[in-house]
Amino acid sequence: MTGNPNSDLWRVAGIRARQGPVWNFSVAAGAAAWIPDSDDDGLDWLDWLLGLTTPPEGAVHWQGRDWQAYSPDAAGAARGTIGCVLTTGGALANLDMDENVWLPARIHRRPGAAAEIETWARRFRCWPLPARRPAVVRERERQRLLWTRAFAGRPLALVLERPLRNMPEEDRRLFLAAVADVRAAGCAVIWLEETLAEDVRAALAPLTVITPEPA
């Protein structure tokens, strides 16, 4: 992880949807930001932050460059430096869970991937990786495996979309401690969720709450 704690990884300028308010913000390496995100607000933050789609107005910059200025190969490589935890899980049904965890490392040919994956899987208490389809892996274990996938590879940033939904207290503590550790190493964190529980707010401090400008 090589993020400069004084540099902005994301810069969002002039984003607006449905003629709503305008969003302008930046997130630096090692910082944590919360975007109050609901399922029906018309704001596709996950896709925009990863440069997968273009907002109707405004732009998202990653490491000083508009996502739209990246070539397809460069954009794919840049996304490989961002770990994601998705509300929908994000496990591919036609791959075993061990293959799902390994998928980003194989796509991006990450050196040292085996050691990284084992380290995080042990930390999240899901080692050894199960060679079973997602549908037959218990939800709690499946979520821990997907955390492993997101954190392995020394990401420059994490996008966390409701990562603790339905998770017990023990796992919440485990996850929040991991977030604190990667932030200390320079990883930026954006948390997407409509409301934020008090334990999460406390664990993410110092935390920037992202709010839009009036329409």
pLDDT of residue 1: 53
- How many CA atoms, within 13 angstroms, populate the side-chain half-sphere of residue 122? 5
pLDDT of residue 85: 97
- 3-state secondary structure at position 171: helix
Structural domains present in the chain: 1-81+155-215 (3.40.50.300), 93-153 (no CATH)
Contact 11, 26 (CB under 8 A): yes
Return d(Cα 83, Cα 103) in angstroms, integer: 12
Residue 51 φ/ψ region, left for φ over 0, alpha for ψ in the -120 to 50 degree band, beta for the rest: left
For residues 104-130, give the mean pLDDT. 97
Tens-place pLDDT, residues 85-95: 999 899 999 99
| CA dihedral (121, 127, 129, 135) positive or negative | negative
Tens-place pLDDT, residues 146-168: 999 999 999 999 999 999 999 99
- 3-state secondary structure at position 119: helix
pLDDT of residue 3: 47
